[in-house]
Structure 1
Amino acid sequence: MKRSAGVTSCIIAVLIVIVAGGTLVAKWSLLQPIHTELVNRYNNDSPLYYESNSICKKIQMQRFNILTFPVACFIILIFILITKRTSLLRKQCPRGIAPPMPVDFLSRIDRKFAAVIFAMCADELFTIVKSIFESASSNSNDSGVIISYLERIFQVLIIGFRYYPLLAAVYLDSIVSLVCGTLYSWLDYSITIVNQGLCNTDFYVTLDQYIRAGNESSLAARFDYYGTGSTLLAIQLCTDIPRYLCLAYVSIKLPFLLIDKIRQRLKRSSMSDKERMMMKLTREERILLRISDPGSPDMLYVRNLFRQTDQRPRSHHLIARLLPKFIYEWRDDFTFSTRILCIYSSIILLLFFITVQACVIILPKLNSFQKSLQSTIDLFSTSSEDGNDDQPVDPATTQFPVPSLQRVYILAVVTTVLLITIQLLTLLANIRRNLFQAFRGDDSEIPRRQRSRYISYSAGNIHFGGYCIGYLIWGFILLAFFAIILWTCVEAFINFGSVRLIETLLKSIIPSLLFIYFKQYLNKLLARYVFLQHGGQVLAINNRRILMIFIYFSLFLDAFLGFISSITRLLLSVFYGIIYMCRLDYSPLGRKLELMDGGFSAYCGYIHTECCHRHPVMLIFASHLFTQFKMNQYKQIEHLGQLSDPDRLMYAQRQKKSLRAIRKWNLGVFLIRNPMIAFFRKAYLKQLDVDDLHALTDLDGDANNRNQRLAIYHRRGSVAELSVIEETNAELHKQQRF
């Protein structure tokens, strides 16, 4: 616990709580006059809306926050000018300017900061989703489908430009970028407080919103349900706690990063030559060097490859010791990438906002909805024997009496949140398990990588994060709907004891289901004790004559049972498809058709892309080579520093002459010791045609590819190399047969 909680982290945590608390107090002071004005209007039976402040017109234009947009574009332009181009169009662009990378999703650079930023984006995303449902329910959209779609795209782009400078400032990690990011974060924080306190409140209606809703306001129902006290105001402030914690973290973390960067710059004069050389490296190069450290997750993974499962060292994290292994086994040799943390932070905050809004907004409307629903049900059913619909309805005589929907709705929301939380945690564990399987070439769950689907994998990897969020929203809606139906039936049975409509439905379903399960149990019982040898421990037929007679008569009986089972199969597929809607690692289409599922294809693309770019063995190998190269380079610099100027010049000339010969000698020795690598050199691959290249570079090829590779080696390899290759192929065939 002492190792995980440093002094700087504790100071940042205390400052976050102080800043977030002060922000909530400031918002309370802004919302209190609005709440008082609307309560007075409610008591006087006046229209329930408030006129927004004049500053809202400067902040917003057509519901878009455009005040920070020019500042963000200007900061992005500064970042473009200070970013150096490393690979693309270097000759065509001599100055080397390039757009900065906001986040490296395949690495572990600034994962927490990026996750907090994406959690803030979830707040903006929920605002867009909420506006879509409001416009669909009120039918107030007169601009057409295409214009509305373009508006949503423009909103998403505005969100991207709003948070782009914050992410790019931390990724560039320079004094200029951190100064710009700090000033921009403070400006955005101030504007957000004003905007959400005066212009865009969650539960209070402005004049523009009142007009767009057709001069109607649902605030009266909320006042009737929550009262005119400070309950609604307290709910609003409690909803804003995660939002302002994220904003406070960003506005405090950036100044601390800036101070740390300035401190490193001031200490440069007292640094050693090795530390100065490390400072000249890029962040990617420094991270690549750290991969080969003894305590890095990738190095621990490579070490654990040669250990049994029970011989792995215990995790040093406190959460790993507190969390039971049957729930989740915390492992030090694996860390999730930045992308997974960003996706899950967005999902958690989005799920929180959806749950709160679903409870606060819908609960006051359930009483009126229950009356209208009961009247609609009674309209299609016979409420009394004489058929007089004017008489009051007795719950004992109606076909389906509707119970109190408030308790039903709360139970349904709690059930939905619990199911989705369990599914998300299971998905997180399955991502790690599937990545481990992909690392060792196991295709038992994820289909094997194929060269013909590389483009599909890349496209699916791009869709992965967005699909996770979209499937979550749709899964929440479907689960909540069916949970309401289920809890309504349970509540009706508890309150009224008997519901004739449900009883009639169950009387027609239960006998068929009981007969199906009886037949299945009978088949298993006979198979265990009559039709299989050794009590079912061996798949060998016993009593062959009796088995054939039983199959003959079961053929006609199972035809009728199959019709009933097909209906059950359809219902179960719908049921489990709804429960597993937010799980991209599960495809309801089955193993043969799973790649036709867009969500599962996106998941496969993500797994294969992560395996290609984050394989621990590959990273350790690359880090080892890069470390050796930098160490030799440092030794040469250190040796040159000890020489005088004439000796340094002579040494440089001698090194220049002999360097090429040394490289060729080292390359020759390396190829003699590793003859297989000679077939993958650039000069060798240029001599091959396209089919031979595919046969050599295809890692998941079949027997035809292996035979084609062997034919290429026989055509172009030497005798010594072919002997090594044949021995290697023989060993591979032995392992495959084993």
Structure 2
Amino acid sequence: MASIAELLGNYLDFPVNTTFTYTVTLEACPRIFPHQEFRLFLLIPAAISTLVLAFSTRRTNKILHVLNGRPGLISPMDILKTSHRFSYAAAFGTLARLCSDIVFDSKYAFNYFGPTYLKVFIALVSMLIYGLGYFPLFAGITTGSPLGYLVATLFSWVFTAEFFSNTFCKQQLDISYLVLIVGVLPEMLCFLYLSFSLPVRFVISLAKPKRKTKLAVDFESSEDLYESIRKSYQGIHVTKLFQTPPPPPSPPEGIKEKLTHLLTSISEKIFYKRTKGFRYSARMISVMAVGFILLYQVTFFLFIVFYQIFDYAEKGLSASLDIIGRQITTEEDPAVTNLRTGIYVSYYFIIAFRGCFFTSIMVAFAINAVFLLHYLTSYRENLLSLYKGDNKHLTPRTEKSNASLIVGSMRYAGYQVGYIGWGFFIQFLLLLIFSVAIATVVTLWGILDNFILEQIMRLWPVLLTSLVLNMVQLLLSKFLFLQENGEILAMDNRRLFFIFTYFMFFYNIFIGIFSCLMRIIKSIILGALFLPRLDHSTLPRKFQQMDPGFDAYCGFMHVESTHTNPVAMVFISILQAESLTSLKRKKSNNSDIIPLDEKQEMLDRKRRKAKWKWLLAYTLVNNPEISLQRRLVLAKERNENVKEIFFSHSTLYSEEPTKVDMDQIIILEERL
């Protein structure tokens, strides 16, 4: 390729005869598993495995009595539970590279050269192909049977082989394998975790005895069953609701304790604060894993690629300076002097831009990594608040239909990954523009110093005056215009307040112009900063439903809260325990031996039944009208004559029924 010196010489219309050349070669070996061919051929074993797993399960509602309810409907993931959450997170982590290709490269499952307006349908078909290819891996984990773990193991090994062969074969960059391993380390750990954990689970599932039904649970007594409910996460949460909250911890004493407490509180505010006993859902852990791996790999790729580009440019400019000469010589052609000056400016600009680029990308990665931790904290706080019925941070359920909440829950995971990717990219661009502006000012300070100082001299009186007047307004409001030094909202010195407000009206118009500019700048900065976070809307409160990301998050949180509420889960578990206890009692009635705890429970049940009958009799004796209505309802259920019962009942009070009695019979018959 042509030398950089020759290119600059041609640009400056100056012939530079040099023999220096700097070439960049990217050697790549062919991929063992081509992307498109691999995805298409994977559909055949994926379809077969899905059918096999479907025939291994039965339908709950046997509408068609064929093959004893087979094939059943299998799901790839139970998004409302916390079981297998690390396996799901690792499985979704293996999709990070595919998600990166979809978000930034719009990679399809097959080539398309037709009309542009049909590309959206090609994208939909590609997403369907991707989903079908990975479906057996997730379905096998969800099934939890030996066959399911076997299918998941085989597919995880295939995906692992494809990952290692394509990653370590297609080495387009001049980097070592150690650096390449560091770049794909999180995704590689996900593949290795699945490749080793799924076979172990397959062997363990073979050793476990097969459970026929959910009711076939062995327990020594009903107390053991209730104890398992108390020790569960939901049981512990419900138990805490009936306990008095612990007193706040005593303040730290001593310099060492105060310093430790200060550092702990700062780290909890900046990074993450743990809540003991809380369990995140499998879906949330999976989304956060995909988001982190996506950020990690994109950051690493940009860092390596642009590091080599900047290195090539710096070496090329340095070599050009060595050829031309770094010092001005006597009787030198002015064109050579201009060329040297241009190369020096380009050289220093490349160095400055490299520092800005790497600083921006690392700061953007750090911000988004910390935001992922904050996201987990926000999810936990919002979910616990929804358990208590407090939804002040989210859109209330009364303002949205149930169908829209379900749609938001379906959209959430995909929206979150897409927002994380594009939010990182936009934050990086803004940081790069800001850092390049600062670097330009510093580099060209000798040229721009007079202009910048002139603008500072114009603006500093305005800034200082605004700051002073704002402080004056605050101090006067607190100590002069309010009673008791601002402790209560009651005016004092009303006439002076009116005079001061009148004159400040004109000045605040002038300040409002700059305040409007600051509002725009703050909106841009905060909007870009919180763009990846769906738990905060970038729109005002009344327009939050127009924010598709926040709307999806609200639907996800409301569905999550409704179906995972610990109080409801514990109540359902108690009902199941009662059902199991009744089943155990029926079995024990066939034998002569009845456990002591079940005897006590039977006696308690008889006492409650006798007490209820006594209260019913007492109520009916004191309320004859209720007794009549109850007898009529029971008679109606037994298809007896309502009039005969009414007449027999009315003879207790009169010899023969009156017109009023006949009207009551008609009304009662209409009601019944």
Is the shorter-chain TM-score for this pair beyond 0.5, marking a shared fold? Answer: yes
Matched, 1:469 2:417: yes
8 A Cα contact 1:60 1:67, kept in partner: no
Amino acid of the structure 2 residue aligned with 1:405: F
Q: Give how far 1:108 is off.
A: 1.1
Distance 1:579 1:504, change over 3 A: farther
Q: Give how far 1:555 is off.
A: 1.7
Partner of 1:527: 477
Select between 76-85 and 363-372 the one with higher mean Cα deviation.
Answer: 363-372
Select between 356-365 and 343-352 the one with higher mean Cα deviation.
Answer: 356-365
- Following superposition of structure 1 onto structure 2, how do residues 50-449 of structure 1 map, counting pairs within 5 Å? 50=28, 52=30, 56=32, 59-60=33-34, 62=36, 64-87=38-61, 89=63, 95-132=69-106, 143-198=114-169, 201=170, 203-204=171-172, 223=174, 231-265=175-209, 280=216, 293-310=229-246, 324=264, 327=268, 328-366=272-310, 391=338, 404-449=352-397
Identity of aligned residues (%): 23
- Following superposition of structure 1 onto structure 2, how do residues 582-731 of structure 1 map, counting pairs within 5 Å? 582-640=532-590
- Greater C-alpha radius of gyration: 2
Describe the SS at the equivalent of 1:404.
helix
Q: Distance in 2 between matches of 1:635 and 1:324?
A: 54
Amino acid of the structure 2 residue aligned with 1:172: T
Consecutive unaligned residues in structure 2, runs of 5 or more: 1-20, 218-224, 250-260, 317-334, 594-605, 617-672
Amino acid of the structure 1 residue aligned with 2:435: W
Matched, 1:555 2:505: yes
Count residues in correspondence. Answer: 538
Matched, 1:450 2:398: yes
- Deviation per CA, 1:296-342: give whole Å up to 9, x if none: 221111121133443599xxxxxxx9x94660442234211111011
8 A Cα contact 2:93 2:293, kept in partner: yes
Amino acid of the structure 2 residue aligned with 1:156: M
Q: Distance in 2 between matches of 1:590 and 1:244?
A: 42
- RMSD of Structure 2 on Structure 1 (CA): 4.1
Describe the SS at the equivalent of 1:531.
coil
- Deviation per CA, 1:440-489: give whole Å up to 9, x if none: 12233223221643222221111111111111111111111121122234
Partner of 1:683: none
Q: Distance in 2 between matches of 1:356 and 1:44?
A: 25
Partner of 2:521: 571
Matched, 1:580 2:530: yes
Q: Distance in 2 between matches of 1:88 and 1:553?
A: 81
Distance 1:615 1:632, change over 3 A: same
Q: Distance in 2 between matches of 1:401 and 1:518?
A: 40
Q: Distance in 2 between matches of 1:368 and 1:497?
A: 27
8 A Cα contact 2:96 2:187, kept in partner: no
8 A Cα contact 1:460 1:605, kept in partner: yes
Distance 1:597 1:516, change over 3 A: farther
Distance 1:628 1:259, change over 3 A: same
Amino acid of the structure 2 residue aligned with 1:427: Y
Distance 1:458 1:88, change over 3 A: farther
Describe the SS at the equivalent of 2:71.
coil
Q: Give how far 1:119 is off.
A: 0.7
Q: Which TM-score applies when normalising by structure 1?
A: 0.65
Amino acid of the structure 2 residue aligned with 1:257: R
Q: Give how far 1:132 is off.
A: 3.5
8 A Cα contact 2:478 2:486, kept in partner: yes
Describe the SS at the equivalent of 1:581.
coil
Q: Give how far 1:156 is off.
A: 2.8
Partner of 1:208: none
Q: Give how far 1:418 is off.
A: 1.4
Q: Give how far 1:584 is off.
A: 1.1
Q: Give how far 1:356 is off.
A: 0.5
Distance 1:47 1:564, change over 3 A: closer
Describe the SS at the equivalent of 1:593.
helix
- Deviation per CA, 1:333-361: give whole Å up to 9, x if none: 42111110110111111111111011012
Select between 573-582 and 123-132 the one with higher mean Cα deviation.
Answer: 123-132
Matched, 1:485 2:433: yes
Q: Give how far 1:143 is off.
A: 4.7
Q: Distance in 1 between matches of 2:417 and 2:77?
A: 19
Describe the SS at the equivalent of 1:541.
coil
Q: Distance in 2 between matches of 1:278 and 1:177?
A: 19
- Deviation per CA, 1:103-162: give whole Å up to 9, x if none: 10111121110010011111221233443499xxxxx99655444434443443333223
Q: Give how far 1:415 is off.
A: 0.9
Describe the SS at the equivalent of 2:354.
helix
8 A Cα contact 1:79 1:99, kept in partner: no
Distance 1:403 1:259, change over 3 A: closer
Distance 1:589 1:47, change over 3 A: closer
Q: Give how far 1:623 is off.
A: 0.7
Distance 1:97 1:451, change over 3 A: farther
Q: Distance in 2 between matches of 1:108 and 1:193?
A: 30
Q: Distance in 1 between matches of 2:439 and 2:391?
A: 46
Distance 1:50 1:444, change over 3 A: closer
- Deviation per CA, 1:409-456: give whole Å up to 9, x if none: 111111111111222211211111111111112233223221643222
Describe the SS at the equivalent of 2:590.
helix
Distance 1:564 1:329, change over 3 A: closer
Distance 1:591 1:195, change over 3 A: same
Distance 1:588 1:625, change over 3 A: same
Q: Distance in 1 between matches of 2:500 and 2:385?
A: 43
Q: Distance in 1 between matches of 2:24 and 2:561?
A: 62
Matched, 1:460 2:417: no
Amino acid of the structure 1 residue aligned with 2:94: M
Consecutive unaligned residues in structure 1, runs of 5 or more: 1-42, 135-139, 205-221, 224-230, 269-274, 282-288, 314-320, 373-387, 644-661, 673-738
Amino acid of the structure 2 residue aligned with 1:236: L
Q: Distance in 1 between matches of 2:124 and 2:553?
A: 24
8 A Cα contact 1:298 1:334, kept in partner: no
Distance 1:291 1:141, change over 3 A: farther
8 A Cα contact 1:60 1:66, kept in partner: no
Q: Distance in 2 between matches of 1:350 and 1:159?
A: 17
Partner of 2:646: none
8 A Cα contact 2:226 2:577, kept in partner: no
8 A Cα contact 1:72 1:162, kept in partner: yes
- Deviation per CA, 1:375-412: give whole Å up to 9, x if none: xxxxxxxxxxxxx99946589999x9776211221111
Q: Give how far 1:612 is off.
A: 0.8
8 A Cα contact 2:58 2:68, kept in partner: no
Amino acid of the structure 2 residue aligned with 1:414: M
8 A Cα contact 1:438 1:611, kept in partner: yes
